[in-house]
Amino acid sequence: MKLAIFNGSPRRKNSNSTVLVEHFVDGFNRFSDYSPTIHYVADTKRINDNLEAFDSAEYVLIIFPLYTDCMPGVVKEFFEKICERKIYQSKKIGFIVQSGFPEIIHSIWIEKYLQKLVNRLNCDYLGTVIKGGVEGIKIMPPIMTKKLYKNFEMLGEYFANHQEFSPKIKAKLAKPYKMSYVRILFFKLFKSLGFTNFYWNMNLKKNEAFEKRYDRPYEISIATETK
């Protein structure tokens, strides 16, 4: 199976999407003679190489982080370029959408678009794997990410064997759909203890920007203008 993976993260190689792809590929390679090729969509200077890789692949996976409730602008540009050409046949395309929000309700709206995009290209739609809670995975202790990485390896294994996403793992990753009462309760408890924004505060402090965290540099108030 000739699989091309397109990493749509604006952070390119240094991204959470890369970490997920690595685990997917680890699993995939255990059951495939051919290793997938990996392409970075945000590498816009290599657009022609990327389009060529898209053309020649039999299977395509596109992974991206959720940016303002859908694909990042640079991924949209890639979609536009693909649609302009309209020369695709018998290609199978699947997506992985990851987001920092813990619940996946933020990410489900883009799925209908992706499905329709594949129809528009006359290709076969392999589905969209949706995963929340991905921001910060690189600094999390292994105990917190073990299950996630294992699931992505298994997703890769299954893909190599069945040429599709495992419905079981897909369903597992798509949780929680919304915040349950228990989760909200925990969130509020953590908030009262000052834990919820630990990740942000840690980075704000590291950059000596903690005191300025509420800055509003683009505000123009009428009061100041008329002084």
Partner 1 sequence: MRNNLVYYLILVRMKITVLNGNMTQENIEFERLINEFILKVSENNVVEQFKLNEMNLHYCTGCWSCWWKTPGKCAINDDAEKIFKSVINSEFVVFASPIYAGFTGSLLKKITDRLIVLLHPYIEIIQKETHHKKRYDNYPKIGLILQRENETDSEDIKIITDIYKRFAINFHSKLCYVKILETNTMEEIIHETCNI
- Subset of 137-196 contacting partner 1 (CB under 8 A): 178-179, 184, 187-188, 191, 196
Residue 201: half-sphere exposure toward Cβ, Cα within 13 Å: 6
Binding flag, residue 209, partner 1 (CB under 8 A): yes
Interface with partner 1 in residues 46-105 (CB under 8 A): 65, 67-74, 76-77, 79-80, 82-83, 101-103, 105
CA distances from 40 to 4, 14, 95, 138 (A): 11, 11, 15, 19
By CB under 8 A, residue 127 contacts partner 1:
no
Phi, then psi, of 61 in degrees rounded to 5? -120, 130
103 or 153: whose CB is closer to partner 1?
103
- Quick one: which of 6, 115, 3, 111 has its CA closest to 66? 111
Query: C-alpha distances in angstroms, 50 versus 24, 87, 106, 125?
Result: 20, 15, 28, 20
Region binding partner 1 by CB under 8 A among candidate stretches 49-57, 90-98, 144-152, 212-220: 212-220
Q: Which of the ranges 87-95, 112-120, 146-154, 156-164 carries the binding residues for partner 1, by CB under 8 A?
A: 112-120
Residue 3 or 42: which CB sits closer to partner 1? 42
